[in-house]
Amino acid sequence: MGAPSAYSHETFAIATMHAKGRVVARPFSRWLGAAVKVAPGIDTDAFGTFTGDIVRQGTMFDAARAKALAAIEAPGLELGLGSEGSFGPHPFVPFIPGITDRTNYQSCDCMPGQDITDFLTRVRFPSHAVVVSPKAPVEAGKIVKGITRATRLAEAIEEAASASRDGHALVVTDMRAHLNPTRMASIRALAIRLARRLATPCPACAAPGFGAVDVLRGLPCGWCGEPTQLVIAELLRCAKCGFEGSRAVKDRPETADPGQCQYCNP
């Protein structure tokens, strides 16, 4: 650890049912000199679930903030952490998951007895769990989570298909961190980024947390010179005083490939 941070010897409370505390604790200790404690008795599923059986209220930020506030209340600490994930199409490349490309997020429509070995291999079953539900449910609540055994998977598919109007089951990766090592690794990487950011003071007012809040797009096309959607730099800002700066993207090319240009490759 370098120079003492604004959070040296402090304790952060984290709300989690899925073992996130253990991968957050080490980066916070290394870069901030702070401890991380799991807040007891918080049902984080109440803030929304990946499977949709409990609908998230508001945005991801709203849910993360609510979890952080709940984490603070439980042990009576002043600092709280909350995380919220969402998986879906990438905003610019719809056929890959958004947020991070380090994910095994996939789904499979199948019938009982159907060979889905290729799908299971791709999602790294059984080290990564899956969730099974009826594709067209007759009634709500027929979801089986945390499946890591082939025999239980076959049973769950049979049960889900019989509870579906079309006789099909939907097998989806279980994205809860404690049952998804790939997602847990991504959370660890994000915890490192967060800790390092909190250890970065604002050049203007010295408040902790100076860092990227947005990106500046417009890398010129290598053929026509028109701006593209590719990133030129990161926009940095202080949450306290509003001071702004920018930082060039590492290893950024001077121009964009014409294939990324809306004029040369519409």
Give counts: helices (H), strands (E), the chain: 5, 10
Can you tell me the mean pLDDT for 71-77?
86
Q: What is the pairing mode between strands 79-81 and 211-217?
A: unpaired
Tell me, yes or no, whether 89 lies in a domain.
no
Tell me, yes or no, whether 206 lies in a domain.
no
CA dist 159 and 39 (Å) reads 36
Tell me, yes or no, whether 266 lies in a domain.
no
CA dist 229 and 141 (Å) reads 42
Tell me, yes or no, whether 102 lies in a domain.
no
CATH number at residue 133: 3.30.1490
Quickly state the pLDDT bin for 92 (edges 50, 70, 90). Answer: very low
Longest Cα pair distance anywhere in the chain, in angstroms? Answer: 64
Contacts (Cβ under 8 Å, ≥6 apart) of 141? 53
**170 and 115 assigned to the same domain:** yes
CB of 169 closer than 8 Å to CB of 187: no
**168 and 143 assigned to the same domain:** yes
Which of 55-64, 69-78, 226-235 tops mean pLDDT?
A: 226-235
**pLDDT for residue 245 is more than 60:** yes
Bridge partners (DSSP) of residue 89 are 97
CB of 83 closer than 8 Å to CB of 99: no
**53 and 160 assigned to the same domain:** no
Which pLDDT score, from 0 to 100, does residue 100 have?
53
pTM for the whole thing?
Answer: 0.81
**33 and 67 assigned to the same domain:** yes
Q: How many domains does the chain have?
A: 3
Tell me, yes or no, whether 90 lies in a domain.
no
Tell me, yes or no, whether 186 lies in a domain.
yes
**71 and 186 assigned to the same domain:** yes
**189 and 229 assigned to the same domain:** no
Tell me, yes or no, whether 147 lies in a domain.
yes
**193 and 77 assigned to the same domain:** yes
SS3 6: coil
pLDDT tens per residue, range 149-179: 999 999 999 999 999 999 999 999 999 999 9
Question: What is the domain range of residue 244?
Answer: 211-260
Range of weakest confidence among 20-24, 93-97, 109-113, 258-262: 93-97
**119 and 246 assigned to the same domain:** no
pLDDT tens per residue, range 178-189: 999 999 999 999
The pLDDT > 70 percentage for the chain reads 92
Token reading at 105: 């997020």
**79 and 190 assigned to the same domain:** yes
Q: Output the average pLDDT for the chain.
A: 90
**79 and 17 assigned to the same domain:** yes
- The CA-based dihedral angle spanning residues 152, 157, 163, 168, taken in that order and rounded to the nearest 10 degrees: 170
Tell me, yes or no, whether 76 lies in a domain.
yes
**pLDDT for residue 97 is more than 60:** no
**126 and 237 assigned to the same domain:** no
SS3 202: coil
**185 and 65 assigned to the same domain:** yes
Closest CA to 123 of 136, 108, 113, 138: 108
